[in-house]
Amino acid sequence: MDARAALAVLLLAVAAAAAAVLLIGSGDFPMSFGEVVATLLGDGTAAQEFIVQDLRLPRVLVAALVGASLALSGAIFQSLSRNPLGSPDVIGFGQGACVGALIVIVLFGGNSLAVSGGAVAGGLLTGTLVYLLAWKRGVHGFRLVLVGIGIAAMLTAVIHYLITKADLVDATRATLWMTGSLDGRDWAQVWPLVVLGAVLGPVTLAHGRPLRMLEMGDDAAYALGVPVERTRIVLMGSGVLFIAVATAAAGPIAFVALSAPQLARRLTRAPGPNLAAAAVMGAALLLVADWIATNVFADRQLPVGVVTGVLGGVYLLWLLVTERKAGRL
C-alpha cells in the first residue's frame, strides 16, 4: 500500500469513527460528542452506559460491519468481473439472499434467526449457481456479469411471487425486511459479523495481490504464478459470504457494494481492488446514511435502505455518464 492509499484509509477510518460517535449521540436522549466518548471509555452515568452500551452501540457496530462487508464483496466482484457494474446486488447474490430469507418468512413463518440462516443459504446457493453457469474453461468477467444479471432478474420475479402468495402479516414483515434497516439491531447481530470479519477479512486481504493480477486477465495471472481458478473460487466464496451475512443482519441495503469500492479507488488513485480502503469507505458510507435516515427528516425516521437507495441511484447515474464519456459504454 503506497503512502496516498494508507493516508486515505486513515482519513476514512477517522471519518467513520466520527460518524459512529455522532450516531451514538443522536436520538430521543441526545448526548454530546464528549459525553459519548467518555461513556465509551467507562466514565458515563448509569443511564448513559445503558443507552450507549445496550441500545445504540450494537446498532452502530452492525452498520459499520455491514457496510464494510458489502464494500468488500463489491470490491471482489468488480475486480473479478473487471466491470464497475459487477456488484453483488446487480449480479444476483443480494437477490439470492433475499429469496432465501423470504422463503423462511412466507412459507415457514420463521423467527429472526431462521430468516438470517435462510438469507445466508440463499446467497450461497445463488453464488454456486452463478459460478457453475458462468464457468466455461474458467469464469470470465463479461460472462459472469451477464449470467448474474439474468439470475438477478429471475430471482426478482421469485421475490414478487413470494410476496403475492403471503398473507397480510407475512407480506408486511417481508416488505419491511426487504427495505433494509438497522432498527432494533442488538449484540445478536453483531457477533456473526465480527466472526465473519475475523475469519474472512484476513483471507480476503491476503488475496489482494492475486486479485490485482486477475484484473490483468487469466493468462497474465498464470504467467505471474497465480493459481487462477483456486484464487477465484476462494474470492467468490468470500464475496458471497460477505454479502449473504450482511443481508442476513440488516436486510438488502442497496448500492453500498456498488459505490464504496469505486469511491475508494478514486480516492486512493491506486491500481487494484483497494480492499482495505473499500471496507473503511463502506463502513463510513453506511454510518453516514444511517445518521441521515435518523436525523434529517424531523421526527420521521427512515430505514437506512431508503437513503442508500436514493444516494446510490444518484451515484449510478453519475457513473453511467462518466463511463459513457470515457467511451466504455
- In this prediction, residues 249-275 reach a mean pLDDT of 87
Amino acid at 90: V
Q: Does the structure show a pLDDT above 90 at 20? A: yes
Q: Nearest to residue 77, comparing CAs of 133, 141, 128, 134? A: 141
The architecture that CATH gives domain 3-325 is Orthogonal Bundle (1.10)
pLDDT single digits (tens) 190-204: 999 999 999 999 999
pLDDT averaged over every residue in the chain: 87
Per DSSP, the three-state class of 76 is helix
Q: CA 62 to CA 171: how far, in whole Å?
A: 25
The pTM assigned to this predicted structure is: 0.91
Please count the residues of the chain: 329
Query: How is the chain split into domains, by residue range?
Result: 3-325
- Predicted confidence (pLDDT) at residue 329 exceeds the cutoff of 70: no
* Rg value, the chain, Cα: 20
Distance CA 94, CA 148 (A): 11
- Give residue-wise pLDDT tens across range 29-80: 889 889 999 999 888 888 889 999 988 999 999 999 999 999 999 999 998 8
- Over the stretch 234-246, which tens digit does the pLDDT of each residue have? 998 999 999 999 9
Q: Which of 48-52, 56-60, 176-180, 288-292 shows the lowest per-residue confidence on average (mean pLDDT)?
A: 176-180
The full DSSP string for 157-225 is HHHHHHHHHS-HHHHHHHHHHHH---TT--HHHHHHHHHHHHHHHHHHHHTHHHHHHHTT-HHHHHHTT
Q: In this predicted structure, what is the pLDDT of residue 68? A: 95
The CA distance from 236 to 183, in Å, is 30
CA 147 and chain centroid, separation: 21
Report residue 279 CA to chain centroid gap. Answer: 9
